[in-house]
């Protein structure tokens, strides 16, 4: 298997422009989401876990009552790779998805997962 390309700090910063709210620190990319409480936190953790397991690429999660912090790094490559950005995009889409105006789905009357303020 070919070695995975590890991105430089400059490449990481450029790629993060497509993922508002994600940040680069400590050799990982991170994003914090706020939820409306414990049940929603657990639902989001399970949704992230499902997709991470299907991708065979697993984030570090810091979980509390109304907050989830997701941290990604390709441990086998010892850095941040395309895998991390692809899974970050998938997580972002899962966490903040709402039915669009043309959808037959009504959606919740209030948001239950919100991007958190920068930490």
- Contact call for residues 48 and 41 (beta carbons, < 8 A): no
Q: Is 31 exposed, middle or buried (0-12, 13-18, 19+ CB in 10 A)?
A: buried
Q: 39-98+111-115 has which CATH code?
A: 3.30.1360.20
Beta strands 23-25; 28-35: pairing state: antiparallel
**Total H helices, total E strands in the chain:** 3, 5
In the predicted model, is pLDDT for residue 91 greater than 70? yes
Average pLDDT over residues 77-101: 95
User: How far apart are alpha carbons 30 and 34 in whole angstroms?
Assistant: 14
- Give residue-wise pLDDT tens across range 19-44: 999 999 999 999 999 999 999 999 99
- Contact call for residues 22 and 16 (beta carbons, < 8 A): yes
- How much is the pTM? 0.91
Scanning 1-119, the segments in alpha helix (DSSP H) are: 9-16, 38-55, 82-96
Question: Would you call 1 helix, strand, or coil by DSSP?
Answer: coil
User: How far apart are alpha carbons 21 and 49 in whole angstroms?
Assistant: 20
In the predicted model, is pLDDT for residue 114 greater than 60? yes
């Amino acid at each position: 298997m070919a070695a995975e390309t590890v991105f430089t700090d400059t490449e990481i910063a450029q790629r993060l422009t497509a993922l508002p709210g994600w940040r680069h620190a400590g050799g990982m990319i991170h994003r914090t989401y706020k939820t409306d409480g414990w049940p929603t936190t657990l639902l989001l953790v399970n949704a992230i876990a499902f997709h991470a397991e299907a991708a065979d690429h697993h984030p570090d999660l810091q979980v509390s009552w109304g907050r989830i912090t997701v941290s990604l790094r390709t441990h086998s490559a010892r850095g941040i790779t395309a895998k991390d950005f692809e899974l970050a995009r998938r997580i972002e889409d899962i966490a903040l998805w709402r039915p669009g105006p043309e959808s037959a789905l009504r959606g919740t009357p209030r948001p239950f997962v919100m991007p958190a303020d920068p930490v």
